[in-house]
Amino acid sequence: MAKNSIYFVFTLPPVSGGHFVALEHIAALNRMGFNAKVYYVGAPDGFGKFAVPAVRAGAPLLADDIIVVGEDHKALLKELKNLSCIKVLHHQAFFYTFAGFDSIADLIAYPFARLIVASDFCAARLKTLGVTQTISRVRPAVPEVFAPGEKRLQIAYAPHKRPIEASFLRGYFGARVPAYAHVPWVPLTNMSRADCAKVMGQSAVYAALPLLESLGLMNLEAMASGCHVVGYTGHGGAEYATAQNGDWIADGYHDAFVEKLRDVCQLYEAKQPNQKVEAGRATAAQFSRAGFENELRETWTAIMGDRAELYRNA
């Protein structure tokens, strides 16, 4: 039995991409033999929804325990600041920085042992703001469930971050491109991750609508699923988006967006080889489970240092 724990703070049951990434960190650390678990401070009825080890809020935090908290938990960050445990910031979303900190000076002054980010984009932006704590990149893996299936001409999209714009684009496409107004748009809403993967695997096209992302994992999942991706990078997606692996549109350029969707529909119907789809799959393959686990192992080896045995399960 480990003497100490690595706790990842959750205020909700897992519902978002960031939650799923944190769960992957916990599961991988356990596979490596370390005592990592959810530290759940949410509503009681959500506690049973975790598929990894979890404890409820109130578990005592020892001096050598490590608590991992997200960048947008302002109240929790203030509460944890003066505790004696070791603190790590899992900074998944650069654009949420000031949801958790009143100023960059507050972040710099916070006693974090390390910051973990998902992308070079996030690390670079933080360093530009003057962040001096050590930053480690751990890129998430694209789960193997995201793979091409039997394709049909339909457009998968995730409207939750841009609901008004998503509705507009769907209608605007039908109005501007009446020849393809019949093409179904399939929203990835209220679905399990496995169901999202199934829809992406069936869809020839993915309309990318990320907003203020540090990476943009859903774009990569669509690439892995063999979709031709048309749309936005969400800023952080510029880390992997190229003219070869998708049709990337400047934010708000709706005419260009629907014109590219039209072109991709025509290409699909022509049954011509699609080099952008293959390049997209190759891009997504760079976000492998092996790569994720290697970066995670290196990061936690550095965080634990000579205390590693304190966290190792028997």
Does residue 258 belong to any structural domain of this protein? Answer: yes
Whether 261 and 174 share a structural domain: yes
Domain at 26, CATH number? 3.40.50.2000
Going by C-alpha positions, the residue among 163, 291, 170, 284 that lies closest to residue 227 is 284
Question: According to the model, what pLDDT value does residue 16 have?
Answer: 82
Q: What is the mean pLDDT of each run of 10 residues along the chain (314 residues)?
A: 92 87 97 96 89 88 96 93 95 97 98 98 98 97 97 98 98 98 97 95 98 97 98 97 98 98 97 95 98 98 97 90
- pLDDT score, position 172: 98
Q: Do 246 and 227 touch, CB atoms closer than 8 A?
A: no
Q: Which domain holds residue 300?
A: 6-141+288-311
- Note the pLDDT of residue 45: 87
pLDDT digits (tens, 9 = 90+) for 162-188: 999 999 999 999 999 999 999 999 999
Distance (Å) of CA 162 to CA 88, 98, 157: 31, 21, 11
Establish if 1 belongs to a structural domain: no
Cα–Cα dist 75/225, whole Å: 38
Residue 95 lies in a domain: yes
Residues 14 and 97 in one domain: yes
Q: For residues 176 and 123, state if they share a domain.
A: no
* CA–CA separation, 304 and 282 (whole Å): 34
Q: What is the largest CA-CA distance in the chain?
A: 65
Instruction: Provide the whole-model pTM.
Output: 0.94
Q: What is the pLDDT of residues 251-289, one digit of tens each?
A: 999 999 999 999 999 999 999 899 999 999 999 999 999
For 246, the token pair is 């998708």
Residue 146 lies in a domain: no
Q: Which two tokens stand for residue 114?
A: 């390390």
